[in-house]
Amino acid sequence: MDAELARISKFLSLVLRHRPEVIGLRLDERGWVDVDELLRCASEHGRPLSRDTLDAVVATNDKQRFAFSDDRTRIRASQGHSLAVDLALEAREPPEVLFHGTATRFLAAILAQGLTARTRQHVHLSRDVETATQVGARHGQPVVLRVAAGAMFRAGALFFLSANGVWLTNRVAPEHLALERGRH
Protein backbone atom coordinates (compact mmCIF):
# COMPACT_ATOMS: atom_id res chain seq x y z
CA MET A 1 0.00 0.00 0.00
CA ASP A 2 1.46 3.34 -0.97
CA ALA A 3 1.88 6.19 1.51
CA GLU A 4 -1.28 8.05 0.48
CA LEU A 5 -3.47 4.95 0.76
CA ALA A 6 -1.86 4.16 4.14
CA ARG A 7 -2.70 7.69 5.34
CA ILE A 8 -6.31 7.26 4.22
CA SER A 9 -6.47 3.83 5.88
CA LYS A 10 -5.43 5.41 9.19
CA PHE A 11 -8.09 8.07 8.76
CA LEU A 12 -10.72 5.39 8.04
CA SER A 13 -9.60 3.46 11.13
CA LEU A 14 -10.17 6.58 13.19
CA VAL A 15 -13.68 7.28 11.91
CA LEU A 16 -14.89 3.68 11.46
CA ARG A 17 -13.41 2.21 14.66
CA HIS A 18 -13.02 4.97 17.21
CA ARG A 19 -14.29 8.49 16.56
CA PRO A 20 -16.84 8.84 13.74
CA GLU A 21 -18.02 12.12 15.26
CA VAL A 22 -14.82 13.92 14.17
CA ILE A 23 -16.37 14.15 10.70
CA GLY A 24 -20.02 14.15 11.80
CA LEU A 25 -20.52 10.47 10.98
CA ARG A 26 -22.82 8.10 12.80
CA LEU A 27 -22.33 4.33 12.67
CA ASP A 28 -25.28 2.00 13.04
CA GLU A 29 -25.40 -0.62 15.82
CA ARG A 30 -23.42 -3.06 13.64
CA GLY A 31 -20.73 -0.51 12.80
CA TRP A 32 -21.94 0.12 9.23
CA VAL A 33 -22.17 3.50 7.55
CA ASP A 34 -23.47 4.44 4.12
CA VAL A 35 -20.53 4.87 1.70
CA ASP A 36 -21.99 8.03 0.19
CA GLU A 37 -22.41 9.51 3.68
CA LEU A 38 -18.80 8.65 4.55
CA LEU A 39 -17.55 10.32 1.37
CA ARG A 40 -19.74 13.40 1.95
CA CYS A 41 -18.74 13.81 5.61
CA ALA A 42 -15.06 13.30 4.83
CA SER A 43 -15.22 15.96 2.12
CA GLU A 44 -17.11 18.41 4.34
CA HIS A 45 -14.38 18.05 6.98
CA GLY A 46 -11.45 18.66 4.69
CA ARG A 47 -10.67 15.03 3.85
CA PRO A 48 -12.00 14.63 0.28
CA LEU A 49 -12.08 11.00 -0.77
CA SER A 50 -13.28 9.48 -4.03
CA ARG A 51 -15.11 6.18 -4.32
CA ASP A 52 -12.26 4.82 -6.44
CA THR A 53 -9.75 5.69 -3.72
CA LEU A 54 -11.97 4.16 -1.05
CA ASP A 55 -12.25 0.98 -3.15
CA ALA A 56 -8.45 0.90 -3.49
CA VAL A 57 -7.91 1.29 0.27
CA VAL A 58 -10.32 -1.55 1.05
CA ALA A 59 -8.85 -3.80 -1.66
CA THR A 60 -5.18 -3.21 -0.84
CA ASN A 61 -5.22 -3.00 2.96
CA ASP A 62 -2.89 -5.80 4.00
CA LYS A 63 -4.86 -6.44 7.18
CA GLN A 64 -8.26 -6.20 5.45
CA ARG A 65 -9.37 -3.77 8.13
CA PHE A 66 -12.49 -2.69 6.23
CA ALA A 67 -15.33 -4.48 4.51
CA PHE A 68 -18.12 -3.46 2.19
CA SER A 69 -21.63 -4.83 2.55
CA ASP A 70 -22.63 -7.36 -0.10
CA ASP A 71 -24.27 -4.63 -2.19
CA ARG A 72 -21.21 -2.36 -1.63
CA THR A 73 -23.37 0.55 -0.42
CA ARG A 74 -22.11 0.39 3.20
CA ILE A 75 -18.70 0.04 4.81
CA ARG A 76 -17.41 -0.82 8.28
CA ALA A 77 -14.24 -1.76 10.10
CA SER A 78 -13.83 -5.53 10.37
CA GLN A 79 -12.84 -5.36 14.05
CA GLY A 80 -10.86 -3.26 16.51
CA HIS A 81 -13.60 -0.88 17.59
CA SER A 82 -13.32 1.08 20.79
CA LEU A 83 -16.98 2.00 20.24
CA ALA A 84 -19.75 -0.35 21.29
CA VAL A 85 -20.80 -2.07 18.08
CA ASP A 86 -22.21 -5.54 17.53
CA LEU A 87 -20.45 -7.08 14.54
CA ALA A 88 -23.03 -9.90 14.65
CA LEU A 89 -20.31 -12.53 14.64
CA GLU A 90 -21.26 -16.05 15.59
CA ALA A 91 -19.25 -17.84 18.26
CA ARG A 92 -16.95 -20.43 16.70
CA GLU A 93 -14.58 -23.10 17.90
CA PRO A 94 -11.04 -21.74 17.54
CA PRO A 95 -7.90 -23.63 16.55
CA GLU A 96 -6.18 -25.35 19.47
CA VAL A 97 -3.49 -22.64 19.56
CA LEU A 98 -3.66 -18.98 18.56
CA PHE A 99 -1.04 -16.26 18.93
CA HIS A 100 -0.86 -12.74 20.30
CA GLY A 101 1.83 -10.26 19.34
CA THR A 102 2.84 -7.48 21.67
CA ALA A 103 5.90 -5.46 22.63
CA THR A 104 8.41 -6.83 25.13
CA ARG A 105 7.78 -3.88 27.46
CA PHE A 106 4.23 -5.18 28.08
CA LEU A 107 5.22 -8.81 28.63
CA ALA A 108 5.56 -8.85 32.44
CA ALA A 109 2.15 -7.24 32.97
CA ILE A 110 0.48 -9.56 30.46
CA LEU A 111 2.00 -12.70 31.99
CA ALA A 112 0.83 -11.52 35.43
CA GLN A 113 -2.65 -10.24 34.51
CA GLY A 114 -3.50 -11.90 31.21
CA LEU A 115 -4.77 -10.23 28.06
CA THR A 116 -7.71 -7.87 28.33
CA ALA A 117 -9.47 -5.84 25.68
CA ARG A 118 -8.58 -2.57 27.43
CA THR A 119 -9.98 0.18 25.17
CA ARG A 120 -11.21 -2.23 22.51
CA GLN A 121 -14.14 -4.59 22.54
CA HIS A 122 -12.07 -7.76 22.22
CA VAL A 123 -8.61 -9.23 22.54
CA HIS A 124 -7.19 -9.83 19.04
CA LEU A 125 -5.50 -13.13 18.27
CA SER A 126 -3.70 -14.36 15.17
CA ARG A 127 -3.72 -17.77 13.56
CA ASP A 128 0.04 -17.69 12.86
CA VAL A 129 3.27 -16.52 14.46
CA GLU A 130 4.26 -14.30 11.52
CA THR A 131 1.12 -12.17 11.76
CA ALA A 132 1.43 -11.93 15.54
CA THR A 133 5.06 -10.83 15.15
CA GLN A 134 4.02 -8.07 12.74
CA VAL A 135 1.35 -6.89 15.17
CA GLY A 136 3.82 -6.84 18.06
CA ALA A 137 6.38 -4.93 16.00
CA ARG A 138 3.94 -2.02 15.64
CA HIS A 139 4.37 -1.38 19.37
CA GLY A 140 8.12 -1.91 19.80
CA GLN A 141 10.40 -4.95 20.08
CA PRO A 142 7.95 -7.80 19.34
CA VAL A 143 7.27 -10.82 21.44
CA VAL A 144 4.75 -13.55 20.60
CA LEU A 145 2.58 -15.39 23.09
CA ARG A 146 0.92 -18.75 22.50
CA VAL A 147 -2.73 -18.79 23.55
CA ALA A 148 -4.30 -22.10 24.57
CA ALA A 149 -7.49 -21.24 22.70
CA GLY A 150 -8.78 -24.81 22.57
CA ALA A 151 -8.52 -25.21 26.33
CA MET A 152 -10.19 -21.84 26.83
CA PHE A 153 -13.03 -22.83 24.50
CA ARG A 154 -13.57 -26.13 26.31
CA ALA A 155 -13.71 -24.15 29.58
CA GLY A 156 -16.49 -21.95 28.19
CA ALA A 157 -14.71 -18.97 26.59
CA LEU A 158 -16.33 -17.56 23.48
CA PHE A 159 -14.35 -16.93 20.31
CA PHE A 160 -15.37 -15.07 17.18
CA LEU A 161 -13.72 -14.91 13.77
CA SER A 162 -13.81 -11.47 12.16
CA ALA A 163 -14.23 -10.93 8.44
CA ASN A 164 -10.49 -10.42 8.04
CA GLY A 165 -9.43 -13.60 9.86
CA VAL A 166 -8.64 -12.11 13.27
CA TRP A 167 -9.83 -14.24 16.19
CA LEU A 168 -11.56 -12.28 18.95
CA THR A 169 -12.27 -13.14 22.57
CA ASN A 170 -13.02 -11.16 25.72
CA ARG A 171 -10.02 -12.08 27.88
CA VAL A 172 -7.12 -14.51 28.07
CA ALA A 173 -6.15 -15.51 31.62
CA PRO A 174 -2.43 -15.86 32.43
CA GLU A 175 -2.71 -19.64 32.73
CA HIS A 176 -3.62 -19.83 29.03
CA LEU A 177 -0.51 -17.92 27.91
CA ALA A 178 3.03 -19.04 27.14
CA LEU A 179 5.96 -17.51 25.31
CA GLU A 180 6.30 -18.74 21.75
CA ARG A 181 9.66 -20.53 21.71
CA GLY A 182 12.44 -19.77 19.27
CA ARG A 183 11.17 -16.30 18.35
CA HIS A 184 12.92 -14.10 20.91
Structural domain boundaries in the chain: 3-77, 98-179
pLDDT at residue 184 greater than cutoff 60: no
- The answer to whether 3-77 and 98-179 have equal CATH topology is no
Phi-psi region of 172 (alpha: psi -120 to 50; beta: other; left: phi over 0): beta
Share of the chain above pLDDT 90, in %: 75
The Cα 49–Cα 160 span in angstroms is 32
More confident residue, 10 or 61: 10
Q: At what angle do helices 3-13 and 51-60 cross, to 10 degrees?
A: 90
Mean pLDDT of 147-171: 94
H/E stretch holding 123? strand 123-125
Mean pLDDT of 114-138: 90
- Domain 3-77 class, CATH top level: mainly alpha
| Residue 120 pLDDT grade (very low, low, confident, very high; cuts 50, 70, 90) | confident
- Domain 98-179 class, CATH top level: alpha beta
Share of the chain above pLDDT 70, in %: 98
Lowest mean pLDDT among 83-87, 90-94, 152-156: 83-87
Task: State the virtual CA torsion across 104, 116, 86, 147 in degrees, nearest 10.
Answer: 70
Mean pLDDT of the chain: 92
CA 75 vs CA 78, 89, 138: distances in Å: 9, 16, 25
Q: Which pLDDT does position 183 carry in this prediction?
A: 47
SS3 68: strand
Mean pLDDT of 35-63: 93
